[in-house]
Amino acid sequence: MQRESIYKRYTPESTPNKKNTEKAYWFLFNSHEILVELTSNNQVVIPFSKNLGKVKISPESIHYLGTFNGHPCYSGELENGNVAPEGMVFEDLRSLYDRVDEDIYLLAGRASQIVNWDRTHQFCGQCGTPTVTKDDEMAKICPVCGFISFTRLSPAVITAIIKDGKLLMALHTRTPGDMYGLIAGFVEPGETLTEAVQRETLEEVGLKVNNIKYFGSQPWPYPNSLMIAFTADYESGEIEVDGKEITDARWFDPDELPRVPSKLSIAGELIEWYLENYR
């Protein structure tokens, strides 16, 4: 089941409305960890105040993200080694899943990507001049040559491949332990999404697929991906793993699935779809 769009409650903007005096959400990062406030029952919330006076912390950079339920939202990067204020802690972004409102989690992911983009685009990639953040859009502009750098996004495809009611699952070298996942990979220049599905499947496990259908998409801010999910049917070939990205791949029945990704990722949603339709 596809989630409700975040844009029902979130309005992306580049320039703050000075008349908006509501409390603001502050998505503040120390390296790859986000600052959260601990509640009395040991839950976590994003810092929520009109300014950072209550938080008693000063980011090196701040970016306005728009409004959520009418409240301004900001991302910020803290100096490395910053100590969390009393009553607050730094936590890995992934740990917030299922612990905060889903839209808040998605906004935290957006904030993380913007912080990462800001950190890695301080200089013009064309002439090396220090860049300036534009006022009217999320972009960096070079004051000398005019080159513009927008927030980086890397599209990747992920596919649930079915053969005779069985699901293809693979053991990836980048995944620790014995967790099996689905075939996935980044889209290359000059190819369509379905071509990327076909190429990745052939490269990683030596199989051809057909009947490729769009399933859904998910922002994946680790650090700047967009996961585009598909389902597909086996067409031909025998499993032959590449040995570089994939070390093992097998066809699994619904009742014999190995340890699989959680619902945090769209891989988990694809696997749930498979179980609902083939169990």
Question: How many Cβ atoms from other residues are within 10 Å of residue 132's Cβ?
Answer: 12
CB 24 within 8 A of CB 75: no
CB 144 within 8 A of CB 257: no
CA distances to 28, 89, 246 from 86, rounded to whole Å, are: 15, 8, 45
Average pLDDT, the chain: 93
Instruction: Summarize pLDDT for 178-199 with one digit per residue, the tens.
Output: 889 999 999 999 999 999 999 9
pLDDT at position 2: 62
pLDDT tens, residue by residue, 91-121:
999 889 888 998 999 999 999 999 999 999 9
Cα dist from 55 to 26, 28, 40, 47, 77, whole Å? 9, 10, 17, 7, 14
Quick one: pLDDT band at residue 32, thresholds 50, 70, 90? confident
Name the CA radius of gyration of the chain, rounded. Answer: 21
Q: What is the mean pLDDT of residues 154-161?
A: 97
**pLDDT tier at 36 (50, 70, 90 boundaries)?**
very high
Given CA atoms 57, 59, 65, 66 in this order, what sign does their dihedral have? positive
Q: CA 224 to CA 109: how far, in whole Å?
A: 9
Closest CA to 55 of 72, 41, 40, 76: 76
Give the number of other Cβ atoms within 10 Å of residue 226's Cβ.
Answer: 16
- Residue 241 contacts residue 249 (beta carbons within 8 Å): yes
Phi-psi region at 144: left, alpha or beta (left = phi > 0; alpha = psi -120 to 50): alpha
Q: What digits encode the pLDDT tens for the residues 55-69? A: 778 899 999 999 999
Helix (H) or strand (E) holding 44: strand 44-45
Confidence (pTM): 0.88
Rounded-to-integer distance, Cα 243 and Cα 249, Å = 11
In order of start, what are the domains of the chain with their CATH numbers? Answer: 6-119 (3.90.79.10), 121-151 (no CATH), 154-278 (3.90.79.10)
Nearest-angstrom CA–CA distance, 49 and 73: 10
How far CA 209 is from CA of 42, 201, 212, 248, 271, in Å, comes to 48, 8, 7, 18, 18
